[in-house]
């Protein structure tokens, strides 16, 4: 099937990589055959002074920070103007408490402003607009209070599910899970006691998403025996809770499979506060946290009961929503030439251009490869995240050729090789006939 070769009606430039494509969808008009250039792919090989630029976007993720209350975006602006500012939604109301319908935004050293939240049809929230000049700017956004994604993280409403682990022994009489008034906050904490078998209490993270990063906060207190153990568990299937004793399928693997990541905590007889950050592995469908007590034993000899307390467990989504700044460029005049083309050889196309009165972008909708060449030159660009494009400055009516040079070199080499074989056969034939005479 032949690729498409065309001149798009509009050119969109994005300061960012292809990961911004999801957030651009609501602004692109596929019927207009727009072309999108990502600065992250083209290394700024196209300047913003081009006359056919119709929209300019800046897509930016927040800087890594330990702050739970502020997201900082550092942006480089190449064109002054009034920018619309959008924030990726990603279930904002699911993960954060919005006491009002606005967010506080600060640009550089200017006073903090309140930007109203306006939902859009896509996964974006419009915050308003701001004027930015050419140069580097810092945009700070006050992050709303996060929601605890665990049900009953403070044990005020009862216990978590519990289980004895990895044992063929009968249930241990020493294994207990009770609520106690010795709490870090509130009325209750969870006390886990274990005897000859390890035991665990666990819960699931609500609204878990594979792509997100999470911060875990909790408190623990050691009473006796072995130190407490904190566990993050992740399932490759949407099942409730971790699979402590997985079944092995016919291929010799666990199905479903739970991945465990454990950390031993301090043997401190006073309340200790902990926090951890984690991001899920690929293919994970559900996740949660657990606390484990191990038997207080040496060489299978039980020395006594292990007791530990746990309280105030919080799992919060780490704020990582990118922002999108959009500048509509008015007065852009695009005069597209008439383009027709035909294939005239292996990886070679003849393109007929008529009435080219302005610079234009020529797109070849095949996977980008630096081996493609335009006979009239022009900067070779990666367009729409995958295709070949050339910024052509030649005017008038003319014919140009798009060649894949590695294929052309291969064809020439193959022709030379075949020619040499034919020549050798003819030479051998002539020599054979001469000997017979």
User: Which candidate, 318, 321, 319, places its Cα nearest to that of 61?
Assistant: 321
- In which order are the strands placed within the sheet that holds 306-317? 176-180, 189-194, 306-317, 213-224, 272-279
pLDDT tens per residue across span 227-262:
999 999 999 887 778 888 766 666 666 566 888 999
pTM over 0.95: no
Tokens representing 218 are 């909790």
pLDDT tens per residue across span 375-394:
998 889 888 888 999 989 89
CA 399 to CA 392: how far, in whole Å? 13
The model's confidence at residue 121, banded by pLDDT at 50, 70 and 90, is confident
Q: Kindly state the helix (H) or strand (E) to which residue 118 belongs, with its residue range.
A: strand 118-119
User: Which candidate, 98, 18, 90, 27, places its Cα nearest to that of 59?
Assistant: 18
Helix, coil or strand: residue 20 = helix
Tokens representing 316 are 């919060």
Number of neighbours of residue 432 by Cβ within 10 angstroms: 9
DSSP-derived secondary structure letter, 428: H
Say whether pLDDT at 83 is over 50: yes
Per-position DSSP letters for 162-192, written without gaps between them: EEE-S--SPPPTT-EEEEES--SSSS-EEEE
Say whether pLDDT at 84 is over 90: yes
Q: Which pLDDT belongs to residue 46?
A: 55
Contact by Cβ (8 Å): 196, 293: no
Number of neighbours of residue 167 by Cβ within 10 angstroms: 14
Q: Which of 48-62, 81-95, 309-323, 407-421 has the lowest mean pLDDT?
A: 407-421
Domain boundaries in the chain? 5-146+322-336, 162-317
The model's confidence at residue 410, banded by pLDDT at 50, 70 and 90, is very low
Say whether pLDDT at 169 is over 60: no
Higher pLDDT, 127 or 254: 127
Report the top-level CATH class of 162-317. mainly beta
Strand ranges (E), 282-345: 286-293, 296-298, 301-304, 306-317, 323-328, 338-345
CATH of domain 5-146+322-336: 2.60.120.260
Say whether pLDDT at 78 is over 80: yes
Q: Which pLDDT belongs to residue 414?
A: 47
Question: Residue 296 to residues 178, 182, 228, 292: CA-CA distances in angstroms?
Answer: 19, 22, 11, 12
Higher pLDDT, 369 or 300: 369
Say whether pLDDT at 75 is over 70: yes
Same fold, 5-146+322-336 and 162-317: yes
Q: Which of 76-80, 119-123, 409-413 has the lowest mean pLDDT?
A: 409-413
pLDDT tens per residue across span 184-215:
999 999 999 988 888 999 999 999 998 899 99
């Amino acid at each position: 099937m032949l690729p498409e070769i065309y001149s798009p009606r509009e050119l969109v430039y994005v300061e960012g990589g292809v990961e911004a494509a999801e957030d651009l969808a609501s602004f692109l008009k596929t019927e207009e055959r727009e072309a999108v250039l990502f600065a992250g792919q083209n290394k700024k090989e196209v300047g913003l002074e081009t006359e056919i630029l119709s929209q300019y976007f800046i897509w930016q993720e927040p800087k890594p920070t330990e702050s739970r209350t502020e997201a900082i975006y550092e942006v480089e602006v190449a064109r002054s103007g009034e920018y619309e500012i959008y924030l990726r939604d990603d279930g904002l109301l699911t993960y954060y408490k919005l006491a009002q319908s606005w967010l506080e935004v600060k640009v550089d050293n200017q006073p903090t402003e309140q930007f109203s939240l306006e939902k859009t049809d896509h996964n974006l929230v419009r915050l308003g607009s701001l004027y930015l000049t050419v140069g580097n700017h810092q945009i700070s956004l006050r992050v709303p209070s996060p929601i605890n994604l665990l049900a009953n993280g403070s044990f005020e409403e009862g216990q978590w599910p519990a289980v004895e682990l990895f044992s063929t022994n009968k249930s241990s009489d020493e294994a207990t899970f009770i609520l106690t008034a010795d709490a870090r906050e509130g009325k209750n904490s969870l006390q886990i006691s274990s005897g000859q078998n390890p035991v665990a209490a666990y819960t699931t993270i609500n609204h878990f998403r594979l792509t997100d990063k999470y911060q875990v906060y909790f408190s623990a207190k050691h009473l006796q025996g072995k130190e407490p153990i904190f566990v993050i568990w992740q399932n490759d299937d949407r099942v409730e809770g971790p699979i402590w004793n997985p079944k092995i399928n016919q291929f010799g693997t666990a199905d479903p499979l739970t991945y465990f990541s454990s950390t031993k905590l301090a043997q401190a007889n006073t309340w200790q506060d902990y926090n951890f950050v984690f991001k899920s592995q690929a293919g994970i469908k559900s996740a949660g946290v657990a606390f484990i007590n191990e038997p207080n034993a040496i060489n299978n000899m039980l020395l006594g009961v292990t007791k530990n307390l746990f309280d105030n467990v919080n799992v919060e989504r780490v704020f990582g929503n990118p922002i999108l700044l959009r500048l509509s460029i008015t007065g852009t005049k695009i005069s597209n030439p008439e383009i027709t083309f035909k294939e005239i050889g292996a990886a070679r196309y003849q393109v007929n251009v008529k009435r080219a009165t302005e610079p234009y972008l020529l797109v070849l909708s095949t996977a980008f490869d630096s081996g493609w060449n335009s006979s009239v030159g022009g900067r070779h660009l990666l367009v729409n995240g995958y295709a070949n494009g050339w910024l052509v400055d030649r005017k008038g009516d003319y014919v140009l050729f798009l060649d894949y040079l590695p294929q052309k070199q291969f064809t020439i080499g193959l022709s030379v090789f075949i020619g040499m074989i034919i020549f050798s056969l003819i030479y051998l034939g002539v020599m054979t006939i001469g000997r017979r005479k």
